[in-house]
Amino acid sequence: MSYEFRLQDPGEGIHEAEIVEILAKEGAMVEEGDNVLAVETDKAVVDISSPVTGRIAEIRVGKGDIVEVGNVLMVFETDEETSAETPADEAETQEKQPEDDKRPEPDREREAEEAEGAGAEEGHEDSAPEPEKGSPPDDGESRGESVKATPAVRGLARELGVDIDEVSPSGKDGRVTERDVRSYAGQDAGDDTSGAGESGEEDRRDDDIAERRSLRSVRRTIARRMAQAWRDIPHVVHHDRVDISALERLRREHEPEIEGVRLTVTPFLMKALAGALREHPEFNAVLDTDNEEILLKKAVNVGVAIDTDRGLMVPVVRDADSKSIAELARELATLSDTVRNQRAKPKMLKGATITLTNIGSIGGTGFSPLISPPQVAIFGAARAELHQVVEGSLDNYDTRIALMLPVCLAFDHRVLDGAQAARFVNTVKRNLADPGALLIHG
C-alpha cells in the first residue's frame, strides 16, 4: 500500500527546507526511524527519518530542491498491517499535485533562475503547473497552488499578511514578484531594491553571467531578515574606542590556563557586555510591534555572530552574566564548532536578547552592524591597533602608546535614545578597561 511522506515542520515556524542530501536509494528497503534525507532550514541541517517500514517506491525531490512544508518527499510501499498505522488513507484523499512534488525539469529550473524581483532564488519551484487553457480548475483547487512564485516571495506574502491568490503577477511567464507583493500590501514599490525592471533584464543576460550561485536556505534567510531590519528599524550607530592594553596583558597571562581553548578577546567582550546589560536593562529587551510593548528580559542571553561557509550564524550563550570568562570561552568554542559543522539545533539559535559581532580577527577600523529583530541593539568590535593616546588638559598633557579597540553600538531609535546608548557604551568601556574588576565583580 502506498504512503506519501510529506515534509513536516523540522523546527519552530519553518515554512520550507532545502534538500542537501538523499541518504537512501529508490527501491531500497528501510526501517521506521532510518534517516532517508538531510534538509537545511534557515536554522540548521536536520536529518529526516522514515516514518514507516517499507520500500521506497519513488523519490520526488532532488539535491538542491527547495521544498515547502506539506509537499511530498517520498512515496513508500508498505504492507497492509504497517500502513494501517499511518495516515496513508488520509494522504490519498488529499488533492494530488504531480508536478509540484516532483523533481524540477531543467527548463523549469532555468525559468526560476531568470524570475524577476528580489528573493527569486534559484532551484526548485514549489508551485503547481497552470491548467490547460479552457479547462476549469479541479474542484477544491485554490489559485494559491498554481500561482507562480518562489518560496521567498511566498514567505514575504505571509510576513505582510498578503493573500498571494489576490496578487496580480508582473514577472516573466506570469510570476508574482516581490515588487508585486509589496505593491499589493501598500508599500512603495520604490522601496524594492531588487533591481528588477528595465535594468533588471539587462543584468540577467546569459552572455554576461560568469556563474550562477543559488541563494541557499541560510543565505536566503539572512537576506530576507536583513532587508526587513534595514526597512523597518530606524538604526542609529554610536562609535567609540576603548583602551584594552590591560585586558590584552591579562589575556596573554591566562591563556595557557584554559586547556584546549584559544582565549580571544570575544569572551571578555561577552562578559563586559553582559555586565552592562544588567546595569542598563532597557538594552536587554525585545520589541513587540504587534502589541506595541517593550519586553525587558530576565535572562541575559548573548547571541554571538560566527562566520561560516554558509553565512553568519548566531548561536546563543545563555545566562552570560553568570558565567566566568573561562566558561564563556569554552562554550563559545563548542558553539562555533557546532555551527561550522552544521550540527546546530534550532534551539541553539533562538532566544538572544542582544547580539555581539567581532570582526577583529579579520580586520577593519569600524563598521555599522544591523540589528536582528526583535532585538533592540547589536554591539560590534573591530580590530584593535596601537595608537598614541593623549591624556590630560590642553596645557598639561602626557602621551603614551595604548592598544585601542574600536567598538560600536547600533540601537533601535524607536526604543532607545542617543544618551542611553552613550551611557551603555561607557559602561562596557569601563568593564573592558579594568578587566581585574570584571573578573572579580562581573
3-class state of residue 304 by DSSP: strand
Cis before 106? omega within 30: no
Alpha-carbon span 427 to 436, nearest angstrom: 15
Alpha-carbon span 201 to 9, nearest angstrom: 36
C-alpha cell at 424: 551603555
- Yes or no: say if 269 and 381 are a contact pair by the CB < 8 Å rule: yes
| Region class of 69: left (phi > 0), else alpha (psi between -120 and 50), else beta | beta
3-class state of residue 365 by DSSP: coil
- Yes or no: say if 380 and 399 are a contact pair by the CB < 8 Å rule: no
3-class state of residue 150 by DSSP: coil
CB atoms within 10 A of CB 420: 17
CA distances from 221 to 15, 103, 153, 299 (A): 11, 23, 12, 26
Q: Catalytic one among 15, 235, 254, 413?
A: 413
In DSSP terms, 405 is beta-bridged to 242
List the one residue out of 50, 53, 42, 49 whose CA is nearest residue 17.
42
Alpha-carbon span 90 to 417, nearest angstrom: 56
Residue type, 215: L
User: Quick check: is 413 catalytic?
Assistant: yes
- Yes or no: say if 15 and 217 are a contact pair by the CB < 8 Å rule: no
- Yes or no: say if 330 and 316 are a contact pair by the CB < 8 Å rule: no
3-class state of residue 182 by DSSP: helix
CA distances from 51 to 74, 78, 97, 357 (A): 11, 11, 21, 40
Alpha-carbon span 80 to 64, nearest angstrom: 34
List the one residue out of 35, 32, 10, 39 whose CA is nearest residue 23.
35
C-alpha dihedral sign at 33, 35, 41, 44: positive
Alpha helices in 42-127 (DSSP H): 80-83, 88-93, 98-101, 106-113
- Yes or no: say if 330 and 258 are a contact pair by the CB < 8 Å rule: yes
Active centre residues (catalytic) = 413
